[in-house]
Amino acid sequence: MASGFFAILDDIAALMDDMALATKVATRKTAGILGDDLAVNAEKATGFLAERELPILWAITKGSLINKLIIVPVALLLNGFFPAAITIILLLGGCYLAYEGAEKIIEYITHTSHGKPPVHTDTEQEQVGGDPEKAKIKAAITTDFILSIEIVIIALGTVTEQETVIQIVTVSAVALLATVGVYGIVALIVRMDDAGYRLIKRSNGNGFLSRLGRGLVGALPVVIRILNVVGTFALLLVAGGIFVHNIHSLHSLFPALPSMIKELGLGLVVGLVLAGLMALIKMLRKVPSSAS
């Protein structure tokens, strides 16, 4: 009886080792998309009053957790019963990310050519009563949903040959890490200036701590601008990567071209086409109302 008990303990230990190894491999595979997720969400979580930054970030984090609670079980079920649906969902999500990335570039070019700084005045603000805070939270949660699908699917792809228990634990662990890790770092970024002001106050404006504090305060706008650019290109890269990895004809297209350039180019082309179609649809909708 004792030998049977220890045999069970050995089985549990072996299973835990398998889970730890699978989670490590899945995390490594999703490292790139997690970096893109960080850049995109850091850009979306900034630009608010200091006292509203953490409440807004918490709202986005809760939305991200809800996204994972929806995506993980659905992905596991689809993988077991209807795997083709995962590819369709990924491609639709890629189209959304490509459109959002291209729209940001068009918005920047349009406002720059008119001598105005880019502002966020998309249709999402209109849908929530013109409240920019709610609009940005909604946009961030929607984008997080698409990126979460990609993260979960990549993690699931690393354990498809494993037992069901290992699949569930691995995908759940990566999904939780994607939320806690990414938004924890985002919180640190958006509070850089507050940390800097506290260092300046504590040092009475003199010494190393003061210089460090001033450096943090001065670095935040630069970091935000960098994340804005990186986040936009991350959207296009993720979208292009989805198209390349799930459409065979695109995967074999331009084999001599570096994968990053090919994915970025595909994401931009698809995004511009979709942005053009959306602009055409909006224009056609306005024609009957103006004619009447």
Inside any domain, residue 98: yes
Inside any domain, residue 70: yes
Amino acid at 124: E
pLDDT tens digits in sequence order for the chain, 292 residues long: 445 543 444 444 444 554 555 555 555 555 556 665 666 666 666 655 566 777 888 888 898 899 889 988 988 888 888 878 878 887 888 898 888 889 888 888 887 665 555 544 444 444 444 577 788 788 888 888 877 887 888 777 777 667 778 778 888 888 888 788 778 877 777 777 778 888 888 877 777 878 888 888 888 778 777 877 877 888 788 888 888 888 888 877 777 788 888 888 999 999 999 999 998 888 888 776 555 5
Kindly report whether the global pTM for this prediction surpasses the value 0.75: no
Helices assigned H by DSSP within 158-206: 164-190, 192-202
* Per-residue pLDDT tens digits for 193-251: 778 888 888 877 777 878 888 888 888 778 777 877 877 888 788 888 888 888 888 87
Inside any domain, residue 10: no
Inside any domain, residue 8: no
Which range marks the domain in which residue 85 is found? 18-291
Q: How far is residue 283's CA from residue 286's CA, in Å, rounded to a whole number?
A: 5
Q: First and final CA of the chain: distance in angstroms?
A: 87
Using CA atoms in the order 181, 184, 185, 187, what is the torsion angle rounded to 10 degrees?
Answer: 160
Residues 6+ apart with CB under 8 A from 196: 212, 213, 214, 215, 216, 217, 220
Inside any domain, residue 33: yes
Q: How far is residue 253's CA from residue 272's CA, in Å, rounded to a whole number?
A: 19
Inside any domain, residue 4: no
Inside any domain, residue 124: yes
Inside any domain, residue 180: yes
What total of structural domains would you count in the chain?
A: 1
